Amino acid sequence: MLLVHTSFRAVGSLERGPITLIDALRTALGPQGTLVMPSMTDGQAVFDPFSTPTHGMGITAELFWRQPGVLRSTHPGASFAALGPQAEWICKPQPLSPPHGLDSPVGRVYELGGQILLLGVGHSENTSLHLAEAIARVPYSVSHPCVVEVDGAARVEMIAETDHCCRRFRLADDWLRARGLQREGKVGNADARLCRSSDLVDVAVEQLKADPLVFLCPHEEACEECDQACASIVNRR
Ligand SMILES: [Zn+2]
């Protein structure tokens, strides 16, 4: 099982474009493998897994969920798409919050022993680190509006998540490298990182237990998103 976050631009030009990249990943996994990609949306309209475009996930992820046979989960903002024997399990319904807890697509990739491939992106794009935050029960939580459908009617619901700028997720490079748990190489022009989801999440949980705010920018860096996450701790007291 492979969960892939990509920047197609970083990979470089390919004949037939991102479809060739998707085909290559499918070939590498073989028929027993399950390929998973994020297919998150902006939450500004009722989510339809068959038509709502992804938001900020890159062209490869946007094309992936549209391929024949690919399933897509139903979270109104934080859906994932999957293809292969475990796709149905990955995409089964989940609670609205947290979007990336154990009972979510990234949680199932973690529990099923899946790997994570970062292709042309770094750990700041690595959603599974939010799973580590959920497991470690970090003290911050920010709510964002998201349109959900209840009894056929659209309404806005506030969804709580461990949101911040995610830049400090890059610390995971050092943690994994120090333990020899991350393979790195080139795919086309892109830097690629490969690790087991369980290695990544377990190492991050260990770090979060030592310092629950390790992923938030220090206050003096004046990062608006991380300051907001920090303020949520005070608000909850
Ligand atoms: Zn920040």
At residue 234, the pLDDT reads: 74
Single out the residue of 109, 63, 74 nearest to residue 90, CA to CA: 109
CA distance 108 to 228: 29
E strands within the chain? 2-6, 35-38, 71-72, 80-83, 115-119, 142-150, 153-161, 183-187, 190-196
Residue 172 main-chain phi, psi, to 5 deg:
-60, -30
Ligand 1 center to 201 CA (angstroms): 20
Q: Read off the pLDDT band of 236 (50, 70, 90).
A: low
Q: How far apart are the first and last CA of the chain?
A: 40
Ligand 1 center to 123 CA (angstroms): 14
Ligand 1 center to 6 CA (angstroms): 22
CA distance 226 to 124: 14
CA distance 35 to 117: 10
Ligand 1 center to 168 CA (angstroms): 7
At residue 30, the pLDDT reads: 97
Q: Read off the pLDDT band of 230 (50, 70, 90).
A: very high
Mean pLDDT score, 167-176 = 98
Is 60 exceeded by the pLDDT of residue 237? no
User: CA 198, 130, 84 angle in degrees (round to 5)?
Assistant: 55
Tens of pLDDT, residues 180-217: 999 999 999 999 999 999 999 999 999 999 999 999 99
Rounded (10°) angle between helices 171-178 and 197-210: 110
Ligand 1 center to 229 CA (angstroms): 9
Is 70 exceeded by the pLDDT of residue 60? yes
Q: Read off the pLDDT band of 235 (50, 70, 90).
A: low
Is 90 exceeded by the pLDDT of residue 73? yes
Is 70 exceeded by the pLDDT of residue 68? yes
Ligand 1 center to 80 CA (angstroms): 25
**DSSP H helical ranges for 3-135:** 8-11, 18-29, 59-64, 87-90, 105-111, 128-135
- 111: Cβ contacts below 8 Å, ≥ 6 apart: 102
Tens of pLDDT, residues 7-53: 999 999 999 999 999 999 999 999 999 999 999 999 999 999 999 99
How much is the pTM? 0.96
Chain centroid to CA 43: how far? Answer: 16
Ligand 1 center to 215 CA (angstroms): 8
CA distance 50 to 58: 18
Ligand 1 center to 131 CA (angstroms): 18
Ligand 1 center to 176 CA (angstroms): 21
At residue 6, the pLDDT reads: 97
Average pLDDT over all residues of the chain:
96
